[in-house]
Structure 1
């Protein structure tokens, strides 16, 4: 376990067992450190922050970051606020990305991180969501979008089954009618259509039973 992951997980020691288990499982099943390593310093929006683990990693790795996490799930937001109450450069808010923008955040952020969120939305909403995230960014601000690739592999099928359990059976994750996993060529097209310049597509599936892919893009619209 990396020192950074260990420091972040310590913040969750006071949470109930079920919540701690969820956070620990997330720490070891998603390439969050790879996302943090590519995130610039400055103001960072963590869209769909959940329990706030990625927010914690970003804030702990570099105190020059100020992290604004937002999530529509009031239960997860409450746990995130409780765990990260002592972290001065993190703020967790309940709401959607659209509500964040309505709160005067347009063009304010140096970076936005979106980790395993897009696939939970109905696909027709993807263009609007991505455009709204872009509107949060400064010119040339960076988006780090981590999704599970729909590549037809056994890892792809396993990820769909796992998410069905989390969303439909256990109710641990809120979805809005989505559950679509796309090949990287389609995801790249969505990003370009929303006004992003895609700088890097990183395969992060090695060592995991999930086909993780990270898209690093920049706001190309003045």
Structure 2
């Protein structure tokens, strides 16, 4: 009941927003992946919202053009399918613990494979690239964050890339909106609970320090201008 109400409120809000400001334009790559999610329901709208807000194109530009790429906590598989369509020479692996979202992710692309399981427990094959898009702050502790980052470092081939999308704490209003979404909206939509107060954010500098300590070369940047959430991208190389 609460989930249905939440979906209805989000649908009305974004339909009005897109009516006033125009629906976001999608280029060739984004249009192709969007076409895989045409359902006419909330999942189709949610796909459009995610592609509009999240820095998918910025992330895609950092991903190796070939080889094995693993997306940990892949959700509905948007990034996996986008990268698979973009470069057939990539072999994409998506890992997701939510069975409903995993079902949505499977679009039948030949160079994709989806695995049910927790991102911190699934054995990652030797990879050319690993993605963590809004995964780390949803883990159960800061120690768990460290462990999955260490295991990812070990799973990467020499010169391999770890690309992380996380939440920056600036600007404050965007951070506050993001916090509310993670604490209330995400649990209702995807976790079958009313809220989740255990969210483990770090500052951009804290992420950089941690990743360098593990052994990565790191560059980072905020990517939230004109969008409601305070995204940051960390590009890490082994």
Q: TM-score, normalised by structure 1?
A: 0.87
Distance 1:186 1:76 in 2: 30
Cα distance, 1:110 vs structure 2: 0.4
- Residue 78 of structure 1 aligns with which residue? 103
Q: Tell me, yes or no, if structure 1 residue 5 matches structure 2 residue 27.
A: no
The partner residue of 2:113 within 91, 101, 108 is 91
Change (3 A) 1:178 1:189: farther
Counterpart contact for 1:5–1:57, Cα < 8 Å: yes
Cα 1:161–1:97 change in 2 (3 A) is closer
What secondary structure sits across from 1:51 in the alignment? Answer: coil
**What is the DSSP-based 3-state SS (H/G/I as helix, E as strand, rest coil) of the residue aligned with 2:220?**
strand
8 Å contact kept, 2:131–2:162: yes
Greater Rg by CA? 2
For residues 176 and 123 of structure 1, what CA distance do their matches in structure 2 show? 16
Shift of 1:88: 0.9
Residue deviations 1:162-206, cap 9 Å, x none? 2222234x24258986412221110111212222221x2122111
Aligned with 2:42 (options 11, 15, 18):
18
Superposition CA RMSD, Å: 1.9
Contiguous gaps of at least 5 residues in structure 1: none
- Tell me how far apart the structure 2 counterparts of residues 157 and 18 of structure 1 sit (CA, whole Å): 24
Q: TM-score, normalised by structure 2?
A: 0.81
Match of 1:208 in 2: 227
Verify the 8 A CA contact 1:97 1:132 in the aligned structure 2: no
Checking the alignment, whether the CA contact within 8 Å between 1:120 and 1:177 is kept in structure 2 is: no
CA distance in 2, matches of 1:61, 1:67: 11
Query: 1:111 — aligned with what?
Result: 129
Give the Cα–Cα distance (whole angstroms) in 1 for the partners of residues 223 and 171 of structure 2: 16
Q: Which residue of 2 aligns with 1:186?
A: 206
Q: Does the CA-based 8 Å contact 2:165-2:233 persist in structure 1?
A: yes
What is the number of equivalent residue pairs in this alignment? Answer: 209
Q: Give the direction of change, closer, same or farther, for the CA distance of 1:133–1:176 in structure 2 (3 Å limit).
A: farther
